[in-house]
Every structure is written in C-alpha cells, then in structure tokens.
Structure 1
Amino acid sequence: MMRDLIPTPIDAASTIDVDLLVLAAGFEDRANALVTRANFKPDTHVVLVVFDNGIESNSRTNADYERVVAQRFSANLVHKVVLSQNEVVRFKANIRSIFGSLPDSVARIGIDVSGMPAYAIFAVLNEARAARPYHDQLILYTSASEYTPSREEYHQLVAKQGAEIEYIPKSMALEMDRNLIYDPFAGYRSGDRSSCLALFAGYELHRSTGVIDAVNPTVLLLVYGQPAGENLEWRLDLSRRLHHKFETTRRCATEKCSTQSIVENVELLERYYDYIIDDYDLTIAPICSKMQTIATYIFWEKYPEVQVTFPLPIGYDPARRPRGIASTYAVKLPGRLAFGGGAA
C-alpha cells in the first residue's frame, strides 16, 4: 500500500474528480494553478482557506481567490474559513464543523497543499481523515518554477562565506517567532528519556535554529532534501552548508532523502523510529518540502506518540515568494484506517 504513494504528474487543466476541494489563498503563483485551470464537477464543494496575517497585500489576495472561486463554483457550495497562526485550534475546529455539516455523499476530498503552511496541512488532513476515515483523499500539489534563494544567490553566498554559510539568505518566511505544538500532534513525552529531533532541513536557517534551540535534543537527525529535477544539486548543497554548524556542535546524524518521494521519507522515519524509540522521545519538524510534510503526517498517523512541531515565523514577505508554475502532481492517500488510525 505504501508503494502506491507516488506523486503522479497531471495536467493542471485536467478534470479533478472530487466531491470537495480544499485550497488556500496563497501568495505564490502555483497556489492558484488548479483552481483557475482545472475542471470540476458542477456539484463540487469548496473550502477556501483565507489568511489573516497582517500582510498589506493579503486582503487583495484573498479577494482575488474569492472572486475566482465565485466564478467557478456554485455560491451555496463554497465554504470560507479564516486561518491565523495565532488561532490554529479555532481553524481546526472550523474545518471540522464544515466537514461535519456536509452530506455523506461528499466523500472524496481533494486537498491542494500548494498554498498551505505545514501546520495547516496537518490540521486539514487530520479533520478530513477523521470525517471520512473509509475514503481516500486526493493530495494535489503544484511546484514553482523558481524558488528562493536563487541559484545566483547561492553562488554569491558560497563565494563570500565558503563551506559554512552563516549569513541567512532572505526568504519568504521572516525571522523566527515560536514553535507551534498543538493537539493532537503533541505526542507522548516520557519525562525521563532523552530526546531526538528529526529536522527536515530546508533553506530557512532561522526556523531550524529556533526549533533546535526550543527542543534542545539529545540527538539531532538532519534530513537533507534531495530535490527532484535536473540541475538542482546546488539546493541540496546550500541546505548542507546552512546547517553544517549543527553537525559539528551537536550529537548529530545526517540523511539525504527525496523532497518528492513520500514513501522514501516515511521509510526513513520508520527506520530511525525502530532504532531509537525505546530510549528517546521523538519530535519531528517538517520545514522542507510539501511531500515531506505529507510523509510526516502519514508517519505520525501510524505512531501518534511522536510529537510534531512547527517553527513559525513572525510573518511573510510576499516579494520573496517562489514564482512561476511548473508541474502539478496528484497522489491518492488511502483512508485513515488503512494506516492504523491515529488520533483525531
């Protein structure tokens, strides 16, 4: 069953056969690829996640999404929910209320994670799989054609700083605010065992530093993302240079894992789980790719005693967002009971 969790490229203008589509009003070009291009059944419900984040252009972005949704879907089938990272519990409860209000015939849920932060992906998945435990969910994702930092910025950083990059490249996420841990992802803490933090290391060093400082793990596992596609090895190298200091100052293990393969990431986490769980409490911070976030969710669903934490920035700079629209992928996630349940 796990081997079936392979993201498959699809045409963004294809027909998406779902009863309910959940999408978020993200700033990135890729976040609206499906809702503007794909075809849906006339009776498809939509949950539109709009952000309350204090960004000046946010209201305009939300309005643009609401207009597109209004043009493409029946007004009585559109459900809007507001997401503020300071009120995640309320957001999760509102999602639960919407799912609970829908008729049983609305069974096949599609979740476009392209514009969702990791903690929102967890919240939506958790509620969707609790509401429809016997039905598959369709995970949809569109990649960007240009990410930050750029290749040019990478070469400049290497030329100036060498093997260990201490200067943090600018990113869409601003400086660190706090680590979010919320039910049901708080896991089980023994109180007398050592801790292991599995960090999916991306390119936002301030968030990595924040979660490492907060957890202060006995053992640190750095999982570096192997990007999909040609000529992207430099991104793996950049992530390694950014996090190199942790390899030398902490008891640390390192692994390289695909940013796209859900199966590979779940298997990596399971391998370490089997090795350490008798002696360590395990915490995971998924701050690299969307598919690694999905993999972390699947792993948590099998092992809900594991804690998942989300290092949050104080805000976002839309000027530094990934740009363009590249490939769109779909992966069918078997119903919750297929993976042994997990807390709801």
Structure 2
Amino acid sequence: MTAAPSVHPVIDLASATGAVDALIVAGGFEERAFKVLEEARFHPDAHCVIIRYANNVLNNRTHFVRYLTEARKKLAEERIHVVTLRDTDIAGFSADFNKALANLPRDVRAMAVDISGMPAYLICTVLRILREHRSRERQTILYTSAQDYTPTRAEYDRIIADAHEEIELVPRSMVLEMGDNLVLDAFSGYRSQAGKTCLVIFAGYDPHRTAGVLDAVNPALLLLLYGKPGNPELAWRLDLSQRLHKKFERGRRTATEIVSTLEVSESLETLEEYYNYLIDDYDLVIAPISSKMDTLATYLFWERYGEVQLTFPIPIGYNPDNCPQGASTTYQMVLEPRRSLFRSQDVPATP
C-alpha cells in the first residue's frame, strides 16, 4: 500500500492558505470549523467553495451567513461558490458539487479541504468527487481540533465514580439518538457469494450508533478500533470509549485494537493488516463513528480497496449546545494524487 500521508501542525494558516487555488469548507456550527476561513489569506485568483447545510439544526442560516460574510471580505463574489447539502441528500449535493468543480478555471489545481465542519459521510463524498476531478493533483487536508470536548473530564469522573468495567449511562453528546444507517451507492462495495461480513467500527462515544450499525449489518465478525487521542491530556477518553463499548465485545467473535485518532497511518496499517487476513473469507464493512481523521483513514482505505463497503450511522439530529468548544491546533496533510494510489494506473486523466 502507498505510504500514508504525514500529519503536521500548521504554524501559519495565512501562509498555508495563501498557497492554494481553492479552499473547500463546510459552514458548520462548531467554532473550530470557522478557524481556517477566518485566518485564511487567499491569493488574488483564488476561489472558495462553501458547503451550506440546509437542515433543522438551530441557527443554521446564521452560521452560513457568517461563513459567507467572511469569504466576501477576502474574495470577489464571482470567486465564492455555494453548494447546498439538504439533510442527507447526497445525490443532489454530489451533482451540484460536481458542477461547481467543473466550472472552476482549469488553472485551479492546488486545492485544500477543511474537514473540521463535515460529518463522516460528507468528508468521504467531498474527497471522492474532488479526487476524481483532480486525479493528477495533490490535495491538502486541513483539520482543526477543539479546545474542549464533550463529554468533559468532570463528566467522565462522575460517570466512572460508581461504575465498574462497563458504563451504562450514556454521557451527553452533540449527536442525538440513532436515526438511520446510510449506505451510499458510491461506497457500497462488492459483496461476495459467501455473505459473511466483518464489521469494522471506529468506536467513539455514541454507543447507540454502534448498536444501530450492528443491527443493520449483523456481522459474523466485529473489529472495534478504539481511538487514542493525540493529546496526552485527553487519554481518559480512550478509557471512556472502551467502557461504553465493552458490552458489544460479547455475543460474537470480536477483536479490538487501539489506534491514534490523529495519525492516519496507524489506522491504515491496522485496516491493511486485517484486510489481508480476512478478505478471502469475509466481506469488509467499515463504519467511522469516531474522529474526523479516522474518517479520512477510512476514505483512503476505500480508495485503495473499492470492494470494501462504507456505512454511516446517522443520528436523528444534532444538539449544538453539546458540541466541542473553541478552536485549537490546525493540522495539515497532503494527499498524493489519486492515480498513484490505484493498483491499476488506467485512470482517466482529468479533463
């Protein structure tokens, strides 16, 4: 497998964004999702694509206007492109996003994607479409961590005070209860005649979504990948995730591994190891429910092994009051051209 991209902190966002021809950003309600656009310094011919959410999240329009206003401070109106995602209408979004990319000038090559305000299914969709349009070009991925996450350390301490190995009380979360299990046509993979499935779950802090995807897939094997935060001060979150998911380790053949929630290479290496061991006998389904960087690893793995299916447990809604607070470090990685990741090099050139 092609070497995984390295993750580096961004020291100067103004300089980093000044080198790109187009920035793709989603108008999310988390403060960290706004940081890159706020600190960006575009060159005179640059473009910005803003993904607008049209759903029932409180103050949705207010959030979008904030992004649009900031972009207008830095770019001419004709260089700002808005693509709307209505609820989870990925088919409609994909058509509009494809059109927006196709209408960009041919010399717009150096493109950056800020994934900080995107849910997992949108990260994968945006990268798939962008990397098809710019298959000969590198893309820069930007991700901003939060200053404070939910649940907080104080909540964790309270929850485990009277708990044993497992935790039954679900801590407060930004996402509401499980709604649907989203399987997009583009990521549906290829199912074998054997019909035996190994489900890989990047486990986070929403066990109701884990339960939902388990019910939907009903796998013969389960692989739980627990995330170890890149910040040592957040190490307790690994313990919380493990306790919340302990009950799922019973009742079926289950393996568990610990991977970094920041270093994409660790997740890719683990997925590769299990893929090589299982793929002759099992279909592989991956559900990224943890960090956005785990979602990035999931996408890159699918890009290499298109027979793998990606599935996205979708909540019925979001509570912005419980979202991560503040904006901390922004990280950057550069993805090699899509063509270089394929086992076959017979990939059509970008028109």
Q: Partner residue of 1:51?
A: 53
TM normalised by structure 1 equals 0.97
The answer to whether the Cα contact below 8 Å between 1:200 and 1:223 also exists between their aligned partners in 2 is yes
CA shift for structure 1 position 248: 2.0
Q: Which moved more, 1:213-222 or 1:225-234?
A: 225-234
The answer to whether the Cα contact below 8 Å between 2:189 and 2:306 also exists between their aligned partners in 1 is yes
Alignment match of 1:32 (pick from 19, 28, 34): 34
Kindly report which structure 2 residues correspond to 1:126-137, keeping only aligned pairs within 5 A, or say none: 126-137=128-139
CA shift digits 1:296-338 (9 cap, x unpaired): 1111011000000010001100000100111011100011001
CA shift for structure 1 position 216: 0.8
Residue type of the alignment partner of 2:71: V
Closer, same or farther: CA 341–180 of 1 in aligned 2, 3 Å: farther
Kindly report which structure 2 residues correspond to 1:1-344, keeping only aligned pairs within 5 A, or say none: 2-3=2-3, 5-11=5-11, 13-15=13-15, 16=17, 17-340=19-342
Residue type of the alignment partner of 1:93: A
* Structure 2: gaps of 5 or more residues: none
CA distance in 2, matches of 1:76, 1:332: 27
The answer to whether the Cα contact below 8 Å between 2:194 and 2:282 also exists between their aligned partners in 1 is no
CA distance in 1, matches of 2:272, 2:191: 18
CA shift digits 1:80-101 (9 cap, x unpaired): 0111233111111111111111
SS in 2 for 1:82: strand
The answer to whether the Cα contact below 8 Å between 2:229 and 2:261 also exists between their aligned partners in 1 is yes
Moved >4 Å (runs of 4+): 1-4, 341-344
Q: How many residues are aligned here?
A: 344
SS in 1 for 2:186: coil
* Structure 1: gaps of 5 or more residues: none
Alignment root-mean-square deviation, CA:
1.6
The answer to whether the Cα contact below 8 Å between 2:4 and 2:264 also exists between their aligned partners in 1 is no
Closer, same or farther: CA 251–281 of 1 in aligned 2, 3 Å: same
CA distance in 1, matches of 2:267, 2:156: 26
CA shift for structure 1 position 60: 1.0
CA distance in 1, matches of 2:300, 2:88: 25
CA distance in 1, matches of 2:68, 2:326: 21
TM normalised by structure 2 equals 0.95
CA shift digits 1:236-287 (9 cap, x unpaired): 0000000000112221000000111111111110100000001100000011
The answer to whether the Cα contact below 8 Å between 1:12 and 1:38 also exists between their aligned partners in 2 is no
The answer to whether the Cα contact below 8 Å between 1:147 and 1:321 also exists between their aligned partners in 2 is yes
